[in-house]
Amino acid sequence: MNFKLNSKPAFWRLLLVGLAVLVGEAAWAAGAGLLKVGLMEEPKTLNVFGAKDVWAAKVLLFSYQRLYYRDPSGHELIPWLAAEKAVWDPQSKSVTFRLRDAQWDDGTAFTSEDVVFTAQLITRFRIPAYWNNWEFVERVEAPDPKTVRLTLKRPMAILWERTLTSIVVQKKRWKPLLDKAEQMLQEGVRAQEALGKSKEEAYRLALAKPLEFLTTHPVTKPESLGPFTLQQWQKGAYIHMARNERFFGLGKQIEGQDVGPFVEGIIFKIYGNTDTAVLALKKGDIDYLWWGIESGYLEDLKGNPNIRMFSALKGGYRYLGFNLRKPPMSDLAFRHAVAFLVDKDFVIQRILHGQGCRLDTLIQPDNVQYCLGNPPKYGQDLSWKERVEKAKSILKEAGYSWEVEPVGGNFPGQFSVQGKGLRLPGAQPVGPLNLLTPPADYDAQRAQTGNLIQQWLRDFGVPVQWRPMAFAALSKKVESDRDFEMFVSGWGALGQDPDYLRSFFHSKADVVGGKNFCCYRNPEFDRLADLQAETMDLEKRRELVMQLQQLLMRDLPYIPLYVPMNLEAVRTDKFSGWVEMPGGIGNLWTFLKVRPRKK
């Protein structure tokens, strides 16, 4: 019998990968203290300055740490790399804090020089993911190895929630890269100035090359101040992280919290689709699926005695947006009438199957410090027939009319008489209008919500057409072209700082590239938004943010719809200690507190 060896390189590469996976799985089986976590995709990069995808953020969470971090309740910032609360001096516009004793995973001491270096790198090269949180910082100083002082150009309240929660990188690791980037920058500036560009314009144009160099530099093993260090990344299969024995919190108490990690390490297994990942969870191949579970899997998973479901509100919301540049969306009466016709509770029950929370303001309800209490709830206590009558009375009072007036029925969406031919004040016909949504294969809930709202409005007499479209096309129409009438969209990962309201609705943001897509313009809103942004006293700022929400809920550039639930599933037979925070159990505290069950 003759055998012929396959000499193709691809064959041997596949064979080696297969062997590596088998060896890795054998090692996992032997390590009872290894937490196995399912991811849907692997990171695009481990370069913390270039990482944009959620998968990279999950893995990098365990290496790059922050000066301040939220406690397990999610409501209070506590010192993390910092050793104490930051002290604000309004006279010098500076904030000062001390650092903990900590070491990088290579044994190098963590010092204030690392913090200063990180700030200089971000501000010098305007790193996109962090620049907005640092651009108002005039200088960062290290009076001694354990003290940091930030002096601001002007007071900015996002200092607390964004600047002081930025990551810190190791100066030793990144200094050679910064030096090379600086050389590129200087060469680029000279070249641009030779072309007659001003100093500022030359600097701005010259940033492109060094910025690309810094954000695309390949990082195979991130430096770590955190609870785990990366050991191996087998592309397409798994990522192995081991407990960092030099982690500053290991075995200690921080702000009254016992800190681990109490597991030997983490194995991230990569799955390409939800079906495969859920099956792996049911079989016990993974202990936690770090991705939201769709409602269709719930009954099956709830029937498994070794699986527990967790639910939490996602860190964002869905809304109906109006283009205030065009009639009738520019008319407050029209927007109020639509608000009475949109039955949010019906949407949550019919489309979200109860897995969501109605939203009546533009800050999530689990943001207890800043969410407006008792906002207007258009139509909540009215029957459907009463909703329709209220919407009609608002429009009639404003001068609108119909060819055929609508009459509401006995349940949501029913009309005993369908409206036809809504006319503007002055008798000009309305429309036709488009209501844009992403397609169902991108977000079925948003698509179905848009379709439902369209049906209600059409039967009310508004000539509107639901138009699902690819998300990129929708973004172009709304964000770039501003060519739309209404759209259903959402924001995610908003965080706890409310300054995003200024980004979304300030008149200065009504420009191409700005986030005020709806063309909302209100001088009083602008004044209050600017004032809250510079108010360092948190209680005074809170009062201003409440006023902002009251204005928005009166003027309705958006109709807030709902906050979806984040449903997560874990195995209960091997580990316990999962920590529920706003957004879910996929947080740093979970991995610091989860531990093997005693047999």
Residue 430: predicted pLDDT: 96
Residue 248: predicted pLDDT: 97
Residue 75: predicted pLDDT: 85
For 294-317, how does the pLDDT look when each residue is reduced to its tens digit (9 = 90+)? Answer: 888 988 998 999 999 999 999 899
Amino acid present at 284: G
20: pLDDT strictly greater than 80: no
Query: Given pLDDT bands bounded at 50, 70 and 90, which one contains residue 32?
Result: low
Instruction: Give 27 or 473, the one with higher predicted confidence.
Output: 473
Residue 3: predicted pLDDT: 33
pLDDT (mean) for 454-467: 98
Residue 450: Cβ-neighbour burial (10 angstroms; 0-12, 13-18, 19+): buried
pLDDT (mean) for 97-110: 98
For 194-248, how does the pLDDT look when each residue is reduced to its tens digit (9 = 90+)? Answer: 999 999 999 999 999 999 999 999 999 999 999 999 999 999 999 999 999 999 9
Residue 115: predicted pLDDT: 98
Residue 493: predicted pLDDT: 87
Residue 431: predicted pLDDT: 84
Residue 28: predicted pLDDT: 46
501: pLDDT strictly greater than 80: yes
33: pLDDT strictly greater than 60: yes
pLDDT (mean) for 46-52: 96
Amino acid present at 122: I
Cβ atoms within 10 Å, residue 238: 21
pLDDT (mean) for 544-557: 98
- The CA distance from 297 to 352, in Å, is 14
* Nearby residues of 248 by Cβ (< 8 Å), 6 or more positions away: 81, 100, 101, 102, 103, 110, 225
- The CA distance from 537 to 540, in Å, is 6
Token pair of 425 as six digits: 């004040």
pLDDT over 70 percentage in the chain:
95
Burial string for 361-381 (b: 16+ CB within 10 Å, else e) reads bbbbbbbeebbbeebeebbee
Burial string for 88-118 (b: 16+ CB within 10 Å, else e) reads beeeebbbbbbbbebbbbeeeebbbbbbbbb
Least confident piece of the model among 8-17, 84-93, 184-193, 519-528: 8-17
For 414-427, how does the pLDDT look when each residue is reduced to its tens digit (9 = 90+)? Answer: 999 999 999 999 99
Residue 272: predicted pLDDT: 87
Please give the mean pLDDT across all residues of the chain: 93
Residue 63: predicted pLDDT: 98
Helix (H) or strand (E) holding 257: strand 257-258
In CATH, the number for domain 317-495 is 3.10.105.10
Would you kindly state where each structural domain of the chain is located, as residue ranges?
25-61+230-306+572-596, 317-495
Task: Answer for the pair 218, 49: CB distance below 8 angstroms, yes or no.
Answer: no
Residue 30: predicted pLDDT: 44
Of 264, 244, 188, 249, the closest CA to residue 30 belongs to: 264
For 369-383, how does the pLDDT look when each residue is reduced to its tens digit (9 = 90+)? Answer: 999 999 999 999 999
Instruction: Give 26 or 220, the one with higher predicted confidence.
Output: 220
Residue 11: predicted pLDDT: 44
> Phi first, then psi: what are they for 382, rounded to 5°?
-100, 150
For 508-535, how does the pLDDT look when each residue is reduced to its tens digit (9 = 90+)? Answer: 999 988 999 999 999 999 999 999 999 9
pLDDT over 90 percentage in the chain:
90
* Nearby residues of 539 by Cβ (< 8 Å), 6 or more positions away: none
Does the 25-61+230-306+572-596 domain belong in CATH 1.10.287.130?
Answer: no
* Nearby residues of 79 by Cβ (< 8 Å), 6 or more positions away: 67, 68, 85, 97, 100, 254, 255
